Structure 1
Amino acid sequence: MTDSAGQRQTSNGLAIVQIPVVRLTPPRQELELHFSQVSYSVKSATKGTKQLLHEVCGQLRSGRLTGVLGPSGAGKTTLLNVLAGFKVNGVSGQFDLNGQPRDLLSFRNMSSYIPQDFEMLSLLTVEETLRVSADLKLPTSTPLEQKQKIIDDIVDILNLQSCRRTLVRSTSGGERKRLSMGIELITNPPVMFFDEPTSGLDSVTSLQVMGYLQRLAHDGRIVVCVVHQPSSNLMRLFDDVLVLAHGELLYAGPQAEMLGCFQQAGYCCPNYYNPADFVLEVGSESSNQRCDALIEQNKDRHSSIKRLHKLIPDEQTALMDSAIDLRPDSVVRPKEQVSFSYQLCVLMKRHLRVMSRNLIAVQMRIIMHVVVALLLGVVYWQIGDDAAKLPSNVACLFFVMLFAFSGNAMPSILLCLQESAIFIREYYNGWYSLNAYYISKVLADLPLQFTCPTLFIGISYFMTGQPPELSRFLMCWAVCIITTFIGHFIGVIAGSLLDMQMSIFIVPASTIPLMLFSGFFIRMRELSWFLRPICDISFFRYIFEGLMRAIYGYDRGHLSCQSEYCHFKSGKQFLKDIDMQGDEFGWDMMVLSLVTLLLLIAFYATLHVSIRRAL
């Protein structure tokens, strides 16, 4: 699949990107971000404190495309995160915006950060993705016509006309890169940071993407991007360059003056040599004392810029002193632009649209529940009223419990893993509040959580010959519904906290042992005394007990016996034998409801942990 961005060939055969003539409104104010003596350190459990940036100095100016270069491990992405305000803990140094100390929260409101792995919902079209961004990032008072015009302008300037109604998963790499730019261009930010925007792209597509970034910069924005190893063609597009090596800044300034500064320090670039390759080779020799001369030379050049304020020892501390909201995430998170109800409405529509197109989440899961219910009905055909087959019917009901749980827990892990990175990015960009996402996520999943178990129990209940009483059917249905909820929330909690491999291991490993204490494999009175408390905390016990009481409790009477001898002809006697006597279905449902409530609270806490962990 190839991009549709236009190109032309020069006389020497080089591909030049042809940028569309459509323009977004340029930012009104020229900006200059000056940073000096910026250091960043992290705490490690094994190595103590490790410093990743060492007193770097430089400046970023609007109207110029700035490239961040350096060998692997030089600290390029770390510097970008610090400059963009996404890293605050462990940061020290001075940040001046137009000669005044930078207010981090205000800066985050006027800037955007596009990471290397910019996650997007793959089952939305390009236009739908931009529409959601416009609905959540623009003020509620913005007319629909103006939103549509902004979307159309972005589609034109990024040359996305041919794929605007294409699902994101079906777009090419270059189109996805340009779409990630478009999502952030909705608010026309004057400052944009890009982490390796050419990663994974071929040379032609990389040139196209960098051409768009140059265009955005020359429209009056600060545009900074990390490029791992640019070609000579890409290098020509940069107006300014930052060269990093082992967390130290060798050079920060115009590209036209870069080679001259290196030459003064004793490094001469050979003729016809790619300047990017040359500075990367120099950076790999940063232990050389001549590199120390480069570092000091860069510090001296930028320290000569007039500073109106003293050095800020810790930017986070300075902000926290004057901040009203002292939560850690409030330091770097802009305020939402739309009301809570509007956030909820937009997120609900997005969740439902994505789910309706998801083969695994909806279509295959519904088909799976129907097929397994039919198979269960065929295997256990009309055994529900036969006293001679009562053990087999109990096994059938245990399978109902097992499938209702596992058939919803495992798919929920995968779905949550796909959305977790997107939620973190959008939350920290101020698209919506945590409460809006949480409520919309819970509500959007309800239709599927009701549909699947209803189809499953509706088919299997009557095919297996369970008692044809509405009250008993409704009790079984209620148990299946709440079992589905429990499985679903355990899946999403694991998917939010852990990676895929760990989640798929932890969920079965932590829940399957609890099935031993459900009352199916061993009667509770036969357990050792120190194991009996586990039965009280195993939710499988209350699920299985609820099913048993729904089928055999509440004065069901004698079962029909199709053999010469039936040991259990009375449902009441059977429940007494397995230690589940008493018509206490309400108690079982109350305990299961409490478990569901605890899982809902745990899911909310899990989202809190996820956003704090991203700081």
Structure 2
Amino acid sequence: MAELLSVHVHIPQKDDIWQLKSQGPGLSRNSSAQQFDNKLKYNLPRKRTLDIEFRDLKYSVKDGHHKKGRKEILKGISGRFKSGELTAIMGPSGAGKSSLMNILAGYRISDIEGDILVKGKTRNLRSFRKYSCYIMQDDHLLPHLSVEEAMMCSANLKLDESMPQADKEKEVHDILETLGLSEHKKTRASNLSGGQRKRLSIALEMVNNPPIMFFDEPTSGLDSSSCFQCISLLKNLAAGGRVIICTIHQPSAKLFMMFDHLYMLTDGEVLYKGGVKQMLPYLKSMGLECPPYNNPADYVMEVAAGDSGEENVHMLMNSVKSGNLDKFLANETVNNSNRSSNTSINTESELGDCIQIDANENTKLLAVSDGNASYIPADDFMTDGQDNSSRSTESDSSLTEEIAGDHECHTFNTSCFTQFKILFIRTFMSIMRDATLTRLRLISHLTVGILIGVLYLGIGNEATKVFNNAGCLFFCMLFLMFSALMPTVLTFPMEMTVCVREHLNYWYSLKAYYLAKTMADMPFQIIFPLIYGSIVYWMTSQPSDFMRFVMFLTLLTQTSLVAQSLGLLIGAATSLQVAVFLGPITGIPLLMFSGFFVNFDTIPIYLQWITYMSYISYAFEGVLQAVYGFDREALECEKAAQSPECRYMKSETILTELDVDDAKFYVDFIVLCVFFIVLRVSCYFVLRWRVKAQR
């Protein structure tokens, strides 16, 4: 009965593989031998050993309950993660898993004590980030790019510029083939399934073949089949000599036994660190035996959470601190080496009745495709040394060399100009394919322009409808402000998550990204106001003067650009929820002090300064100058010239009545340019602050 109920995972031997390949269906579900062979065409090259070690690592944050108090998240922990091993960091909620991961990945650098070593040497963070990557729990991908386009952007940014384009395309093709994404390379990221999105996130970072990879909850949100595919892929990557570290929350028994190394945390301290196969024997030696037929991962999580008693938690912590755990693992290593050299080691006695598994140290997972995962022996996994060296994208010496120079772009594999060019094309394509940013905006500008034109049809040259015309001009400013502000506020915070991930994984500099983002969207932000302004200007019968027409369109375009700049600043500084609220709210005072609702002299002295901060007031003032200033000829009036309704025939009277008689068009133009520059530069520095704040 025990044998029937126990979970039995069999990892095939080398002879089994060749038998499976010759017979047809293999270990993978619903896969044929031909599919298995196809998945083995590309073997990721082995990376050299780059073990990560940390000693007496402490991390604390400000305690919200005490102004000067601090809360310890990590309490002097130590450990070592070796290359070639798939390491799991586990623990209850609040144990410090994510904090440890962020610190090791270099995403958090403040309030930290202790040493972090790479291959026995103190870690240089800038160099470390260059040959490591961090794949977060949420799959932040650009939704409008296809799998192939996203991969080529990654290749062009992360691989050396001197590398031929054909070689980059081959690298991308091979990675997609290995990760089972070749059939979906024309599919946009928004149409991928959860498992495919996770694999694409991994594929994007595999372009430059990093030797150290961090994964935050890689199985989060995936079904059991996708989880198995994902962990199989990580096992494969580790088999190539990489350091693969991931946080994981309560894996199944099948997934748990695929890990090589476990680092168990609870309340910021280490409960267990060592091989997965040695965990249950160690717990048994400490008087904690896993009940029959339980998942070992669930059991150790229950122990860490204190379900078996707080005294047991403290006992395990003290065992780690006193070195008893290290002695036990050392003895287990000696005992294992003295065992008979059978090809299959039955570990039932080690794992109790919780789980039964056949293991072989020479067997590694390899290919992953949709719905299946295949196995291959470690001897067959590696290509010969010559092929490996030629396939590797960076030499061993380049992994540990110090980065020279202080200029930000010099530390990347591509120049600033190349980064700008690639990011400009990528951003431009995303905007073109985004219905909200292109088609919807174009339709709205056309529709509203025609509607306003019909509503105010032919009033621009009538003296009796001057104030109606002023309302029309003000509404033009109002519409262009919100049509430029709100789409940016809604989309930029989501792009920010992609930007932060790619920048911290050393794809490109913030300068290149921000300049490309600004330049790619500017053509659309200029064309749409020109279309809208042209419709409104001629339908409302404004002066038939080309210079006035150009001045009118210039101010409309400037208003749109400044409003978009404000949207970028809000989006860069806040989250999406806050940005959606702040976007319209910031527009209210700008409109109230624009000069349309209240004249400047009517505003209380202590509030008049707000008028100078309103770019809408300068835009409205400049438009009135363009339409009614510069000695415009008298307006038409159907009444008699002496009639009160015709007192606004002269343009000077209109400007005086609207309190803009002393305004200068060139001053308004220059001030709007200053607003644009200041907001754009401020947004860049806020972007840098946002990235720094996350670390």
Q: TM-score normalized by structure 2?
A: 0.80
Contact kept? 2:306, 2:312, Cα under 8 Å: no
Deviates more, 1:485-494 or 1:290-299: 290-299
**How far, CA to CA, are the matches of 1:500 and 1:397 in structure 2?**
31
How has the CA–CA distance of structure 1 residues 18 and 282 changed in structure 2, closer, same or farther, with 3 Å as cutoff? farther
* Cross-structure match for 1:373: 449
Residue of structure 2 aligned with 1:595, choices 661, 666, 675: 675
Contact kept? 1:269, 1:275, Cα under 8 Å: yes
Deviates more, 1:83-92 or 1:471-480: 83-92
The residue identity in structure 2 corresponding to 1:242 is Y
In structure 2, the residue corresponding to 1:359 is in which secondary structure? coil
1:364 is aligned to 2:432: no
1:508-556 per-position Cα deviation (integer Å, ceiling 9, x unaligned): 2223123222221122233333333333332222111111111111111
The residue identity in structure 1 corresponding to 2:654 is F
Contact kept? 2:494, 2:576, Cα under 8 Å: no
How has the CA–CA distance of structure 1 residues 302 and 555 changed in structure 2, closer, same or farther, with 3 Å as cutoff? farther
Contact kept? 2:157, 2:508, Cα under 8 Å: yes
**How far, CA to CA, are the matches of 1:585 and 1:85 in structure 2?**
51
1:67 is aligned to 2:147: no
The residue identity in structure 2 corresponding to 1:580 is V
State the Cα RMSD in Å: 2.6
* Cross-structure match for 2:41: 22
How has the CA–CA distance of structure 1 residues 550 and 49 changed in structure 2, closer, same or farther, with 3 Å as cutoff? same
**How far, CA to CA, are the matches of 2:553 and 2:129 in structure 1?**
49
* Cross-structure match for 1:532: 608
* Cross-structure match for 2:295: 274
The residue identity in structure 1 corresponding to 2:461 is D
In structure 1, the residue corresponding to 2:437 is in which secondary structure? helix
Contact kept? 1:36, 1:302, Cα under 8 Å: no
Contact kept? 1:383, 1:393, Cα under 8 Å: yes
1:2-56 per-position Cα deviation (integer Å, ceiling 9, x unaligned): xxxxx9787999xxx9793134443342233232322211224544311111222
1:612 is aligned to 2:692: yes
The residue identity in structure 1 corresponding to 2:312 is R
Give the drift of 1:486. Answer: 0.9
In structure 1, the residue corresponding to 2:436 is in which secondary structure? helix
Matched pairs, number: 587
**How far, CA to CA, are the matches of 1:118 and 1:273 in structure 2?**
32
1:583-612 per-position Cα deviation (integer Å, ceiling 9, x unaligned): 721111112112112112211221121111
Any gaps of 5 or more consecutive residues in structure 2? 1-23, 331-401
* Cross-structure match for 2:310: 288
The residue identity in structure 1 corresponding to 2:581 is F
**How far, CA to CA, are the matches of 1:18 and 1:54 in structure 2?**
47
The residue identity in structure 1 corresponding to 2:59 is Y
Q: TM-score normalized by structure 1?
A: 0.90
Contact kept? 1:35, 1:59, Cα under 8 Å: yes
Residue of structure 1 aligned with 2:561, choices 485, 499, 519: 485
Give the drift of 1:239. Answer: 1.2
Any gaps of 5 or more consecutive residues in structure 1? 1-6, 307-321
**How far, CA to CA, are the matches of 2:465 and 2:474 in structure 1?**
14
Give the drift of 1:253. Answer: 0.8
Residue of structure 2 aligned with 1:335, choices 382, 403, 411: 411
**How far, CA to CA, are the matches of 2:163 and 2:668 in structure 1?**
51
Give the drift of 1:326. Answer: 8.9
* Cross-structure match for 1:310: none
1:573 is aligned to 2:653: yes
Q: Percent identity among equivalent residues?
A: 36
How has the CA–CA distance of structure 1 residues 579 and 187 changed in structure 2, closer, same or farther, with 3 Å as cutoff? same
**How far, CA to CA, are the matches of 2:264 and 2:41 in structure 1?**
33
Give the drift of 1:186. Answer: 0.6
How has the CA–CA distance of structure 1 residues 18 and 11 changed in structure 2, closer, same or farther, with 3 Å as cutoff? closer
In structure 2, the residue corresponding to 1:262 is in which secondary structure? helix
- The within-5 A match list for 1:79-90 is 79-90=100-111
* Cross-structure match for 2:499: 423
1:541 is aligned to 2:562: no
Residue of structure 2 aligned with 1:408, choices 475, 484, 488: 484
**How far, CA to CA, are the matches of 2:190 and 2:57 in structure 1?**
39
How has the CA–CA distance of structure 1 residues 587 and 66 changed in structure 2, closer, same or farther, with 3 Å as cutoff? same
How has the CA–CA distance of structure 1 residues 11 and 380 changed in structure 2, closer, same or farther, with 3 Å as cutoff? closer
**How far, CA to CA, are the matches of 1:231 and 1:218 in structure 2?**
21
Give the drift of 1:265. Answer: 2.0
1:38 is aligned to 2:38: no
How has the CA–CA distance of structure 1 residues 584 and 375 changed in structure 2, closer, same or farther, with 3 Å as cutoff? same
**How far, CA to CA, are the matches of 1:366 and 1:155 in structure 2?**
37
Residue of structure 1 aligned with 2:242, choices 193, 201, 221: 221
**How far, CA to CA, are the matches of 1:363 and 1:544 in structure 2?**
28
Give the drift of 1:476. Answer: 0.6
Contact kept? 2:572, 2:687, Cα under 8 Å: yes
**How far, CA to CA, are the matches of 1:366 and 1:218 in structure 2?**
52
**How far, CA to CA, are the matches of 1:536 and 1:266 in structure 2?**
75
* Cross-structure match for 2:470: 394
Give the drift of 1:301. Answer: 5.7
**How far, CA to CA, are the matches of 1:85 and 1:601 in structure 2?**
27
How has the CA–CA distance of structure 1 residues 262 and 465 changed in structure 2, closer, same or farther, with 3 Å as cutoff? same
How has the CA–CA distance of structure 1 residues 228 and 583 changed in structure 2, closer, same or farther, with 3 Å as cutoff? closer
Deviates more, 1:449-458 or 1:580-589: 580-589
Give the drift of 1:324. Answer: 8.3
Give the drift of 1:159. Answer: 0.4
Residue of structure 2 aligned with 1:515, choices 583, 591, 605: 591
How has the CA–CA distance of structure 1 residues 222 and 534 changed in structure 2, closer, same or farther, with 3 Å as cutoff? closer
Deviates more, 1:52-61 or 1:88-97: 88-97
**How far, CA to CA, are the matches of 1:237 and 1:359 in structure 2?**
44
Deviates more, 1:594-603 or 1:247-256: 594-603
In structure 2, the residue corresponding to 1:360 is in which secondary structure? coil
1:125-156 per-position Cα deviation (integer Å, ceiling 9, x unaligned): 00111111111111111111221111011101
* Cross-structure match for 1:106: 127
1:406-461 per-position Cα deviation (integer Å, ceiling 9, x unaligned): 11011111121121111111112221122211211111111111111000001111
The residue identity in structure 1 corresponding to 2:652 is K
1:168 is aligned to 2:189: yes
